[in-house]
Structures are given as structure tokens and as C-alpha cells.
Amino acid sequence: DLGDFLAYRATGCRDVRSVCTTGCKWALDTTSDPGRPRWDPSFWEAVGLAPLPEAKIGADLRDVGAAVEGGVGARAAAELGLAPGTAVGVGLIDAHAGGLGCLAAAFAAHRGSEDPEEARRAVEESMVLIAGTSTCHMISSRECLFVEGVWGPFRSAVVPGFYLQEGGQSVTGALLDHLIDGHPAAPEARRRAEEGGQLVYGALHDELRRMAAARGLDPEAEVGRLTADLHLTPDFAGNRGPVADPHLRGSMVGLSLSATIQDLALLYLSGLQAICYGTRMILDAAKKFGHPGWNQIYVCGGLSKQPLFLREQADSLGIPLAMPRETEAVLLGSAIAGASASGCFASVFEAMAAMGGAAGTVTPRPALRPYHDRKYAVFRRMVEDQLAYRALMASGGGEAENKAAKSGTLNIDFKNDQSFEGMYELQRELGSGSFSTVREGIHKQTNERFAVKVIKRMNLSREDEEALAEEVTILHGINHPNIIKVFDFFEEKDFYYLVTELMQGGELFDRIVKKTFYNEKEARDLVKILLSIVKHCHENDIVHRDLKPENLLMTSADDDTSFALADFGFAKLLRGNTLTEQCGTPGYVAPEILNGVPYGKPVDMWSFGVILYILLGGYAPFSENNQSKLFAKIKSGAYEFHPDFWGNVSSDAKDLIARMLQVDVAKRITVEAAYNHPWVLADADVLSERALDGNLEELRRFNARRKFKAGGKAIVAANRLASMIQQAK
């Protein structure tokens, strides 16, 4: 907010706000209606602050570099020694000003080009690293791309008309200082630095050169190879992106008892490389979600003054680095905004072209790329392993698993010192199935209410018990606001008791069919939540394998927007590349499962497509009373959009369904790509005009038929589905 406050102090204008500060820090919606930023009232109402945005934050929302009326006021002119009326431009957050200053160099490099689009392409093909105590990765694109785990997109937050994604590393320069200051050899390193008239980083770089020469390596070109046996992850203060996990922590592999200055130098180098690999991880995430890539990376900030950091960054990414000759990029970006406001230039782009200077470059060395690729593979494995360790500890794995195999019990340890009956009291029945009954339970000490699945042990085969263990392990280890939470598990003589969150709002489809009005915007909002759920599962290598309406439960009777995915009875951790077990629910099961071929995460996207088809059309895409004919339709992808029900449904919505219901797995849309599909990103007001009221009655009939058929058996067990497939053949 400092930029907006300074504009206010300079001019006295209270209501002017920058789309940079409000979009990046105050949840201003800059993407739904490009060029017309607005506050989303539903968000502020949900957090109980509905009056705050326009009354307290500001309603006069302007792009960077726009002039604030009147310029410098009399009071500020006297305090600053400036002429009254001096132009004041709408400003930026400090790091974003640095991004604008760096991108000006990219823009200026194409000054005078006959192709006016060349400079704008250069902005899109350039990423900016503001690398200091922490590091911001500023990615600009003309297309609105959502990158999971990376902040944004924010329209016009830096360059007018461009969307900004901001990936972050919470500690970078601060991490290096932490590694150095905590090492026993730090005093010697600082003494050498003082004697040599340099910073401690320079003294450690000199030591690394000596170590490289002693090992027969080129002391200028091959210093990076010294850490082949020392690996580090930099998330000492959590991971801001793309893992986006505040609980992630730093880790090291390859430590010894030695504590010499040589060990400190290697630790410093390993820390530098870990920071570089963190950047590579952010760029990989951006490319995964549709960014085309970068021709150069502009670097400013304190770390840009460390030659070894620049060298390792260029080599590890395989992308040239550019260091603007104007080292104070934050001041330059702010000056560009002011110059644009002054009227000296017709636009921010003209100011960038005129004021952006030249840049020096560091070119990557292809010979070192294979080495860094291997180091990066270790880095990613270390991050993934830490997440796996956390899940293992949460599930009571390790030695307990070995005991379970020998004793014939699940032995999932929730650290309960009491029996189930000692902690909970069972109440009314909520539902029942072949193997279990679900009842409401009350915690005897807290009076909190839960859902309790009571499972008769005598009814379970060994395979059933393994599936139950998998379900409990997955639910206990996963954390997502829209996935049902498991709180306790008891393994007792006659029963297993699984204690979960109590979903008191019924099934999602039951809630929808009670509506009087229904439109595509409401359906799209539900789809966004389900996409988030499936993406979280897939990122944790979990395949649900039974996505269907029955498993989408409303949190409460009062909230129409909050639901959770329940019943992970068929869910599986994807320990290899594929699964082979035939399981699921007819009508939602993917063709590859029916064909008996190995399969993986794409089966969930097929089931997702069936659910979306029902949400919009009101009936199932594949429906036959004869099981053999049903399976034949699914395997051939034989469905259609009947004009009577799909005439008012947007073409983008039908396109997304078609991409989900692709029989060819290689062509089926991934959950990451679905996030950036035009229908998912479409303007809320436009989708609200797509009324689906006419399909509500058909949806009510479908829902009634579905619930009638579910009366006997809600879930088709794995062996049952396999038998049905054989009968169909």
C-alpha cells in the first residue's frame, strides 16, 4: 500500500488506488472483465467485510502510470522542494516497480524496430527475477493463464494490458546468510573477506575456485560440479510456490562431521544452486499451465551482484540472463510511471522504450546442462520425498506397516489411548451399505458431531482390508478444504470405526434440483471447486476412480457453494505409472478400465466429463438398461448433445465436455489444462445469462432415477464390476 499512500500524501487525493497494489495485495478482480477491474462482493461478504472495499480501500482504480489530478499539492511541494502541480503517477509495489524497470530494458532493445509488436513480444518472452533477501519471479503474458501455486494472474499490475504471474521464494539472500552465519567456519571466511576487501560471498567463491583447481576442474567454468554429493532444498521458511506449502522445510543430503572453510564454501554453493532449482521449478509450473517459455531472464537485486549466482542460474536454467546497466531498477520503474503521468510520453510503453537502458548478459553453457539436470532431478525428488515422509508419519507407517503385515491387522495409528466407545457415542443412522453403516457420532468430551463409518470386520476379505487401509491412509495424509476430513480410526475386535467430518447438507445434486433458477455460471463455479479437488489429488499421485454425484456432499444445509468429495474407497496411490484393477461405477467408468488396459489419472477426467455433462444437460451421456450396450457406448464414446437440451449451452462448455470424454487417453484433457479452458475462465456475467432452467426438470428426473437405483447398491465393488464386464463381453 505504500505506493498508494505516497500518491495520497503527494496530491491529497484519497480515493485513487493502483490496480497493482489492489490486485496483487487486496484481491481486486482484474481478470473477469479485462480492462474493467472490480471488487468481487461475494468474497468480501464471505469474510464479513462487505463494506470495506469501496468505503475504505477505494473505488477509483487506475492503471500504473495514470496521472493523479492536480499533481503535487502545496503542502507536499513545500516539504519536498518541488513545484506545485508536478505530475504524480499511479504507482506500483516496490518489487513490481523493479519488474517494470527491468522489462524497460527488454522493450528498449527493440527501439526503432519496424515491427511494433516486436517489443511487446520481448516483454512476454522475458521473465524478471527481483533477487534479494527473498526473490520474486515476474512472468508477463498477454493471455490470462492460471498457474497453480503461483500468485496471479493480475492484469496490468506491471505492464499495461499484460497479465502478471508472481512466483516467490520466501528466503534466498537471507538463506545464504543463514547458512554462512550458522557454520563454525564463518569467522574465518569473514576474516578472509575483510583482508581481501570483499564481501564474504567473494571470499567463499575464491575458495571454491581453489578447490576446483585442486580437483582438476576449470576454476572459472566448472565450480558448480563440486556439489555432486551435496544437495539442499531452500524452503527453510516454507515454499511460496509452486508447491505453495508453508509447512515445507529445508533439507540437506551429504553432510559429514567436517566443518572447515572448504565445507562452508560447498554449503554456500549448494545453497545458491538450490535457489536456482527453486526458480526452475516455478518456470516448469508456468510452462505446464501454458506459458510458451522465455528467451531471457532479467535479474536485479542484491543477488544479481554475486557473479557465482548469475553463472549457476544461467547454467541451471539454460536461459540467458540479462542484467540492466541501470542497477536501481525499482527507481527506474517508478520513474517510468511518473514520466508517463507527466505527459512527456503518450503511454507507459513509450516511456519504457525511451528510458530503458542496455543490459549485460550471462550466457548458459550447454556442457553443464546435463549435470544440472541430474542435480535438479535430485532436488525435485527431495521435495517430493519430504511430502511423502509427512504422509508416512501421519499414517503411522514405517515399522508399524511391517507389524501389520505379520499380524493380519491394519495397524493404522491415530495415537488413540482409548477405545472408540470410550471417546464417542453413536447416534442416528445416516446410511448403510453391504459392509458398513454410517452413523452420527458425538465426541464425549467436546460434544462435537462427526460421521462414523462402522465396518464389520467379519465381512471383509484381506483385499477389502487392504482397500480400507489405503482409503484411511489417503484421507489422513491429504489436506484440502473440499475433501472430506478423517479425524480418527479405531481397529477393534469386531469393528473398524472411521471418524470423519459430518456433512450435513446432503448430496450436491439434491441441492441443485431444488433450485428455481439455474445457469452456467453456477455450474462453472462448482466445476472450479471440483477441478481444484482433482488437481490436488493428482498432484499427490492419488487416483480417485469413483467420481460421481453420490460422492459430492454439501457441507451444511445453509451454504449452497461449499461441498466436499467423499468416499475414497476406490482411491489408489499411484506408486507406479499405471493401475490395472477394474473398478468404478457403470455410467461413470472410463473406457480404458472397461477395456482392461493399464490406466492412470486420466480416468478421473473422464468421470469428471460425465458429471459436467449431467450438470449442464440434466441427463447422463451414457444410459442403457442393458449393461453390454452401456459399456459398448462408453468404449466408443457414443454420446451427443441433443438440441432440445443443449441449445442454450455455450459452445465452450460443450468443448470442455468433449475434451474430457475423449476415448483416446493421449487426447483427453488434463486437469491442469482444464484450469485454463476458456469456459472455466469465462466472464461470470456472460455465463449468468446462459439460463439452464429448462434442463432443471430433466435433472430432477435423472436425480430421482439415480437415487432409486442406488437403493440396492450405491457402489459397484471391484470384483463385481469385473464380473459385469465379463458378462457384457
Closest CA to 337 of 610, 670, 96: 96
Q: What is the DSSP string of 565-581?
A: E---TT-EE--SS-B--
Letter string b/e over residues 651-684, b meaning 16 or more CB atoms within 10 A of that residue's CB: ebbbebbebbbbbebeebbebbbbbebebbbbee
Distance, in Å, from the CA atom of 699 to the CA atom of 618, rounded to the nearest integer, reads: 4
Catalytic residue among 546, 567, 604, 652: 546
Q: What is the CATH number of domain 173-294+368-389?
A: 1.20.58.2240
Distance, in Å, from the CA atom of 39 to the CA atom of 28, rounded to the nearest integer, reads: 5
Question: What is the predicted pLDDT for the residue at 417?
Answer: 66
Query: Which CATH topology does 505-728 take?
Result: Transferase(Phosphotransferase); domain 1 (1.10.510)
What backbone phi and psi angles, to 5 degrees, belong to 507? Answer: -80, 150
Query: Is residue 364 over pLDDT 90?
Result: yes
Distance, in Å, from the CA atom of 332 to the CA atom of 401, rounded to the nearest integer, reads: 60
Model confidence at 313, pLDDT cuts 50, 70, 90, reads: very high
pLDDT in tens, 562-608: 789 988 888 998 866 678 888 888 899 999 999 988 899 999 999 99
Name all contacts of 280-284 with Cβ < 8 Å and 24+ positions apart.
280/316, 280/317, 280/376, 281/242, 281/243, 281/379, 281/380, 281/383, 282/137, 282/150, 282/167, 282/241, 282/242, 283/127, 283/137, 283/317, 284/242
**How much of the chain exceeds pLDDT 70, in percent?**
92
Question: What is the predicted pLDDT for the residue at 399?
Answer: 40
Distance, in Å, from the CA atom of 185 to the CA atom of 258, rounded to the nearest integer, reads: 10
Q: Does residue 453 have a known ligand-binding role?
A: yes
pLDDT in tens, 12-36: 998 899 999 999 999 999 988 888 8
Distance, in Å, from the CA atom of 267 to the CA atom of 273, rounded to the nearest integer, reads: 10
Question: What is the predicted pLDDT for the residue at 408?
Answer: 40
Termini Cα distance of the chain: 66
Tell me what the mean pLDDT of segment 287-310 comes to: 93
Distance, in Å, from the CA atom of 592 to the CA atom of 582, rounded to the nearest integer, reads: 9
Residue 708 CB neighbour total at 10 angstroms:
9
CA angle 559, 247, 297 (to 5 degrees): 100
Q: Which residues contact 468 (CB under 8 A, 6 or more apart)?
A: 410, 455, 460, 496, 569
Question: What is the predicted pLDDT for the residue at 538?
Answer: 93
Antiparallel, parallel or unpaired: β 321-324 and 296-300: parallel
Quick one: DSSP state of residue 311?
Answer: H
> Hey, which CATH number is domain 418-502, 3.30.70.260, 2.60.40.1080, 3.30.200.20, 1.10.1740.10?
3.30.200.20
Distance, in Å, from the CA atom of 486 to the CA atom of 477, rounded to the nearest integer, reads: 9
Residue 67 CB neighbour total at 10 angstroms:
18
Is residue 546 annotated as a catalytic residue, yes or no?
A: yes
Closest CA to 434 of 455, 450, 452: 455
Question: Which sign, positive or negative, has the C-alpha torsion 109, 110, 111, 117?
Answer: negative
pTM exceeding 0.75: no
Distance, in Å, from the CA atom of 476 to the CA atom of 474, rounded to the nearest integer, reads: 6
Residue 6 grid cell: 505516497
Distance, in Å, from the CA atom of 188 to the CA atom of 715, rounded to the nearest integer, reads: 68
CA angle 100, 103, 106 (to 5 degrees): 160
Question: What is the predicted pLDDT for the residue at 341?
Answer: 96
pLDDT in tens, 499-554: 999 988 888 878 777 776 788 998 999 999 999 999 999 999 999 999 998 888 88
Domain boundary assignment for the chain: 1-91, 173-294+368-389, 418-502, 505-728
Cell 575458495 sits on residue: 207
